[in-house]
């Protein structure tokens, strides 16, 4: 009987904890295993200082804590008033592949006005930010320059430079931080507001918080920046080792493994093959209607990309490139370990272009899509000339090393 009473009491305690509107937070001791996000650290240590302050929150569906509670709710629970929300590409809930139609809408669920950052220019954003006391940035980044969330951070910091308004960046892990620094530093000729805006190499090896410190220190020194760090984080961690839940940052990155593969193949968007958008394996399926899968698979296996393996497949995208066409191709599988994303992309593109006469560079503006993705025309020109990757790397290695020296000043982990 006594044992039964203990069980009932334990159940009641657990139930009351789980049904409570607020979680109990504590900052972990160093020997605790999981990583605590900047959001959790902020709620525990700093949120009380901003009670009754109004905030613009730059966020999306990834702004969750360990218990999958929304940052907006946590801020309000701690007395922070929400002026409105700014959302990046893919919208508030992260499911929209094309999010450029509406300037703003009203979220009845969150009881807040939600503005589309892709519809705002610098003047309009400055006017909007003037309404609030503080700006909070809390979005899961991907660690790649072409991933537009880092461009949103730059946009906000450019507008706040010289303004008497605090920017609070809540840090989150970099899913590909273990890969370090890789790829060309951005050439200003290929600046694009979204895919090539942040002045770093293609893979920049920093968390979103470190990136904010770097951009302030090197480019916008008059931003009132406060970075709330991660606790127990090591940049060599794979995302699953943080023990934080993986919330797909966009529709085409359903797992943390897909984010790793994404870094290795995203530059292939610069040629006319499908990367599996519109399938169940975005960025893990590669192919085109004019590719025979078995020979293609054998050819890619022959490239010696030891961190990846390939299996022949056929697929039919429901949207994006080669929509509703049967494509032959491969399923690319990440097998573990460190690699150079730029090298993998370089060797894949070179092989495909040399093997299939149908393969072409995609056009963008008056030039080529690949130049804006890579942030340089050196990569395209090297592949066109048939250069070995090592020779291409020799052309960019000095800019990578110069960046590493600058970056070292801003690393938190």
Pair 23, 69: CB distance under 8 Å: yes
Handedness of CA 205, 211, 217, 218 (dihedral sign): positive
Q: How far apart are the first and last CA of the chain?
A: 52
Handedness of CA 246, 170, 153, 73 (dihedral sign): positive
Predicted pLDDT of residue 365: 84
Q: What are phi and psi of 386, to 5 degrees?
A: 75, 25
116 vs 106, 111, 125, 304, CA distance in Å?
11, 16, 10, 43
Predicted pLDDT of residue 23: 44
Starting at the edge strand found earlier in the chain, the sheet holding 308-315 runs 285-288, 327-334, 308-315
Contacts made by residues 25-33, CB under 8 angstroms, sequence distance 24+: 27/231, 28/231, 28/232, 30/232, 32/232, 33/232, 33/243
Residues in the chain: 413
Pair 40, 22: CB distance under 8 Å: no
Pair 258, 338: CB distance under 8 Å: no
Predicted pLDDT of residue 20: 40
* Residuewise pLDDT in 10s, the chain (413 residues): 444 443 333 433 333 334 344 444 455 554 468 999 999 999 999 999 999 999 999 999 999 999 999 999 999 999 999 999 999 988 787 676 665 577 777 888 888 889 999 889 999 999 999 999 999 999 999 999 999 999 999 999 999 999 999 999 999 999 999 999 999 999 999 999 989 999 999 999 999 999 999 999 999 999 999 999 999 999 999 999 999 999 999 888 999 999 999 999 999 999 999 999 999 999 999 999 999 999 999 999 999 999 999 999 999 999 999 999 999 999 999 999 999 999 999 999 999 999 999 999 999 888 999 999 999 999 999 999 999 999 999 999 999 999 999 999 999 99
Q: Which of 177, 325, 202, 208 is nearest to 265 (CA)?
A: 202
């Amino acid at each position: 009987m006594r044992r039964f009473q203990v069980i009932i009491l334990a159940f009641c305690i657990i139930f009351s904890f789980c049904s409570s509107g607020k979680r109990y937070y504590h900052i972990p001791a160093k020997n605790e295993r999981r990583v605590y996000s900047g959001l959790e650290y902020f709620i525990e240590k700093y949120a009380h200082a901003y009670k009754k302050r109004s905030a613009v929150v730059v966020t999306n569906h990834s702004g969750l804590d360990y218990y999958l509670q929304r940052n907006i709710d946590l801020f309000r629970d701690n007395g922070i008033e929400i002026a409105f929300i700014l959302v990046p590409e893919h919208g508030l809930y992260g499911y929209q592949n094309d999010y450029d139609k509406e300037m703003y809408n009203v979220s009845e669920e969150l009881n807040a006005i939600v503005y589309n950052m892709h519809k705002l220019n610098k003047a309009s954003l400055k006017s909007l930010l003037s309404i609030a006391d503080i700006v909070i940035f809390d979005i899961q980044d991907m660690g790649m320059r072409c991933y537009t969330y880092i461009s949103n951070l730059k946009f906000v910091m450019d507008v706040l430079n010289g303004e008497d308004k605090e920017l609070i960046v809540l840090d989150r892990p970099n899913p590909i931080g273990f890969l370090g620094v890789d790829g060309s530093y951005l050439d200003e000729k290929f600046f694009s507001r979204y895919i090539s805006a942040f002045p770093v190499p293609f893979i920049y090896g920093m968390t979103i918080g470190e990136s904010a410190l770097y951009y302030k220190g090197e480019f916008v020194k008059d931003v009132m920046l406060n970075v709330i760090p991660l606790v127990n984080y090591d940049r060599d961690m794979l995302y699953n080792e943080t023990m934080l839940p993986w919330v797909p940052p966009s529709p085409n990155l359903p797992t943390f493994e897909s984010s790793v593969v994404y870094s290795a193949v995203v530059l292939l968007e610069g040629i006319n093959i499908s990367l599996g958008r519109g399938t169940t394996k975005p960025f893990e399926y590669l192919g085109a209607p004019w590719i025979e899968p078995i020979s293609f698979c054998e050819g890619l296996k022959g490239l010696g990309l030891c961190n990846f393996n390939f299996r022949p497949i056929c697929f039919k995208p429901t949207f994006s490139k080669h929509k509703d066409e049967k494509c032959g191709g491969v399923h690319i599988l990440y097998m573990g370990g460190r690699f150079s994303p730029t090298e993998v992309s370089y060797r894949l593109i070179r092989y495909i272009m040399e093997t299939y006469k149908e393969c072409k560079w995609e056009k963008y503006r008056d030039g080529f899509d690949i130049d804006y993705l890579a942030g340089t025309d050196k990569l395209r020109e090297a592949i066109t000339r048939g250069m070995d990757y090592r020779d291409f790397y020799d052309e960019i290695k000095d800019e990578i090393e110069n960046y590493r020296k600058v970056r070292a000043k801003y690393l938190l982990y």
